[in-house]
Amino acid sequence: MTTGDDAGPIIQLGASERLGARPALTARELADLIGVSQSTVSRAFSKGTSVSPKTRAFVLEQAEKLGYRPNVIASFLSRRASSIVGVVTADFTSPVYIDMLDRLSVRMQELDIHPLLFNLQAGAEAGDQLAVLRQYNIETVIVISGRISHMSVARWAADGRKVILMNRDIPDAAIGSVRCDNSASSLVADHLWEIGLRRVAFVGGPESSAVSAEREQAFVRRVAELGMILCGREGGREYSHQSGFDGTRAVMASRPEAILYATDRLAIGGLDALSWSGGLSVPGDVSIVGFDNIDMACWPGIQLTTVHHDVPRIVDGAIELLQQIQNGREGPRKHLVKGGLVVRATTGPAKA
């Protein structure tokens, strides 16, 4: 047999040794069988490594014949692996987060970066999840949530690993982030003022959500500047259709002319509470506005006025930060992605 980077002889296995009749081959066993070094086998399965095209083709061909598959998990567990990036989220029911995860995972895989996904369950401690990630020797983690505590993220970063925040920021920390400009909710107040509505309410998400708080604060501030009346405010336990439904029932006691919701999902729950269950006309009796511009918002039976959340640009920003980290480059660490108001059928002048 030959060793090193040269292609060795082709080995013929007996029937009892063929795929399915023997344990899975290790990289060392494959190398011994085909007459190359173990490092050559590793390089043949790694993009961008120094191995000749002829040798790579030989190793891959023999690996296919002999049933060898590289153990990626074992490889990255043994070292800090820049090709594996942890992705932590906290709400798999959110259309926005699902869209982000879908686009992010596709972009990462195009760059030969593999996401290791962790779903933080409601009520779980984020710090515990990040501690689990440390067991995988991951160098970088992307956090897609507005509900994971600042302290948990800061502890991860302080331990020598890199963090990228999507959909939120820690203003005073040197942690990369890319997020929607939640102050765009002020555009909603301007729109409602222009169509003659003065009494408004806000239905938000969980009290722990930084996203909901930022959207509420910008809206309330602009309402005050315009001399409008904030006559109702209701929070929820979660970003759900039911929370939007219940929150709408609660704020309607103050008889608002319009309601802004922290998300489209909440707003669609509010639409059902008003039109299906409350017998009220939207927008004739009450105008409603969401935030995010999810796909459902433009469905013919909904046609929700909302603020656009530019998920593709947010994912682009996260990928840019990830490449900066992996290439050791300096660059802008915080990206704020602006959105605009999308006016549809759920807002209009009140009935005369």
**pLDDT (tens digit per residue) in 302-326:** 999 999 999 999 999 999 999 998 8
* End-to-end Cα distance, the chain: 92
Residue 92 domain-assigned?
yes
Task: Answer yes or no: is pLDDT of 127 > 50.
Answer: yes
Residue 136 domain-assigned?
yes
What was the pLDDT predicted at 140?
87
Task: Answer yes or no: is pLDDT of 114 > 60.
Answer: yes
Q: Are residues 95 and 152 in the same domain?
A: yes
- Whats the size of the chain, residue-wise? 352
Listed residue (11, 122, 114) closest to 70, CA to CA: 114
Q: Are residues 298 and 318 in the same domain?
A: no
What is the rounded CA–CA span in Å between residue 162 and residue 141?
6
Q: Which domain holds residue 120?
A: 84-180+311-337
Q: Are residues 53 and 110 in the same domain?
A: no
Say if CB 325 and CB 261 are below 8 A apart. Answer: no
User: Residue 287's pLDDT band (boundaries 50, 70, 90)?
Assistant: very high
Q: Are residues 176 and 320 in the same domain?
A: yes
Q: Are residues 161 and 188 in the same domain?
A: no
Task: Answer yes or no: is pLDDT of 8 > 50.
Answer: no
Residue 347 domain-assigned?
no
Q: Are residues 175 and 316 in the same domain?
A: yes
Residue 78 domain-assigned?
no
The CATH number assigned to the domain holding 58 equals: 1.10.260.40
Distance of CA 297 to the CA centre of its chain: 19
Mean pLDDT for the stretch of residues 128-138 = 67
Q: Are residues 164 and 106 in the same domain?
A: yes
Say if CB 255 and CB 274 are below 8 A apart. Answer: no
Q: Are residues 195 and 50 in the same domain?
A: no
Q: Are residues 234 and 253 in the same domain?
A: yes
Task: Answer yes or no: is pLDDT of 15 > 60.
Answer: no
User: Residue 16's pLDDT band (boundaries 50, 70, 90)?
Assistant: very low
What was the pLDDT predicted at 134?
67
Residue 323 domain-assigned?
yes
What is the rounded CA–CA span in Å between residue 183 and residue 215?
6
Domain count, the chain: 3
**What letter would DSSP give residue 272?**
I
Residue 349 domain-assigned?
no
Q: Are residues 320 and 201 in the same domain?
A: no
What was the pLDDT predicted at 169?
86
pLDDT greater at residue 227 or residue 206: 227
What was the pLDDT predicted at 68?
85
Residue 9 domain-assigned?
no
Treating both helix axes as pointing N-terminal to C-terminal, what angle do 311-327 and 95-110 enclose, rounded to 10 degrees?
A: 40
Mean pLDDT for the stretch of residues 7-26 = 52
Calculate the average pLDDT of the chain. Answer: 84
Residue 155 domain-assigned?
yes
The CATH number assigned to the domain holding 230 equals: 3.40.50.2300
Q: Are residues 333 and 243 in the same domain?
A: no
Task: Answer yes or no: is pLDDT of 21 > 70.
Answer: no
Among the residue ranges 79-83, 138-142, 246-250, 252-256, the one predicted with the least confidence is: 79-83
Mean pLDDT for the stretch of residues 14-41 = 72
Q: Are residues 155 and 189 in the same domain?
A: no
